[in-house]
Amino acid sequence: MQSWLEIRQDCDFSIHNLPYGIFSYRGKKPRPGIAIGEFIIDLKQAHKKGLFEGIKIPDKVFKKTSLNSYIALGQKVHRAVRQRLQEQLQTDNSLLARHRDKLLIPIEEATLHLPVQIGDYTDFYSSLEHATNVGKMIRGQDNALMPNWKYLPVAYHGRASSIVVSGVPIRRPMGQSRPNDQEPPIFGPSRFVDFELEVAFVIGRPTQLGEQVPVTKAEEYIFGLLLFNDWSARDLQKWEYVPLGPFAGKNFASSVSPWIVTLEALEPFRTVGPIQDPPPLPYLQTQGKRTFDLHLEVSILPKGAAEETVVCRSNFKYLYWNMAQQLAHHTANGCNIRIGDLMASGTISGPTPDSLGSMLELAWNGTKPLPMSDGTTRIAVNDYDTVIMRGYCQKDGIRVGFGELETLLLPTG
């Protein structure tokens, strides 16, 4: 597909992508938009101009400050909107082309907001490499994986209220830790703030309490994906996690990218995941290409540094448990899901030293400091460091990307 709009070949927001977000511009109320090249298609104004004539979309949907109402219209409407916009972008005398001055908003002049109203958030633990690495540090080589890990997608429920969009700074958390095992715990700022490279999917179709989502139908309940940084305070987490798991070491903040990439846009990049041995129980068994060849990258930009340092290059396809299995297990007990709920993958680590998705692994629990571009080193994220995550799929000249997820870590307030 060729567009009349000039789009760089390395741009994440190609005509093959068309991701959804929420933006505001020149003091106006936040509203839904779609990214294309260096612009945002203002869906409210596009609808007003008649761009979606024949597609059943209530006027109020594009006036909302979140995508939840639009997502609720269902996949048939989403596909029709995508097809209509691709047609409009390929025809140089189209309605969109003729009204481009009013319908295309420069991304650099817009403010991007949290794209969905998040009711609940679940964080999985689905990377075999990550789970093994962390297990080695805590329990040793012989007991790295817990007995249940290869039988079910391990997860915990997180805090949705502290999820923020890219560009919103977070603060180093306070909490209890126990630096000396022979002494009582202390209270103070975390000394080991870490990023976690993850990808989250957005629920696009609700269920009722008691209803199960079959693994074969699970992708019908997924609207799209975004980048996810599940911040961790490792010292707080280490002290508190027994016996009930993560709490204050995790719930202080998580960050998401502003653009949701649809499964339809990711379709050309499907691939197979790792071989699962032993085979999952029947309710978790999937066939074929159930994951995506999605390249992921993490950089750290120290305060005042001229360049960022790439510390991680990983891939979504490394995950042992795929999204369909995660959602099937999540609902196997009848737990209901709602539009806008987030399901995060857990840290995505790969088989090579540079593909590890957290500082805990990259610096191997503080024993292997990472060099930065400014000559300093890191075993954790420092105050005033900016952590930048990127993700994209690329194949046969087609690029579909997620943009950037950028977060500044501030000192304890």
Two tokens, residue 115: 């794209």
Helix (H), strand (E) at residue 395: strand 386-395
The string of DSSP letters for 180-248 reads: STTS--EEEE-S-EE-BEEEEEEE-S---TT----TTTGGGGEEEEEEEE--EEHHHHHHH-TTT--ST
Q: Which amino acid is present at 136?
A: K
User: Whole-angstrom Cα distance, residue 164 to residue 250?
Assistant: 14
Going by C-beta distance under 8 Å and a sequence separation of 6 or more, which residues neighbour residue 172?
189, 190, 193, 233, 383, 409, 410, 411, 412
Q: Which amino acid is present at 58?
A: P
At which residue do the structure tokens 């610096």 appear? Answer: 363
Two tokens, residue 173: 């958390």
78: annotated active-site residue: no
Q: Which of 130, 157, 329, 330 is catalytic?
A: 130
At which residue do the structure tokens 């750290």 appear? Answer: 300
Going by C-beta distance under 8 Å and a sequence separation of 6 or more, which residues neighbour residue 112?
21, 22, 23, 165, 166, 167, 258
Provide the CB-side half-sphere exposure for 383 (13 A, CA): 10
Q: Cis check for the bond before 246: say yes or no (omega within 30 of 0).
A: no
At which residue do the structure tokens 């890191």 appear? Answer: 378
User: Whole-angstrom Cα distance, residue 56 to residue 89?
Assistant: 21
Q: Which residue numbers are catalytic?
A: 130
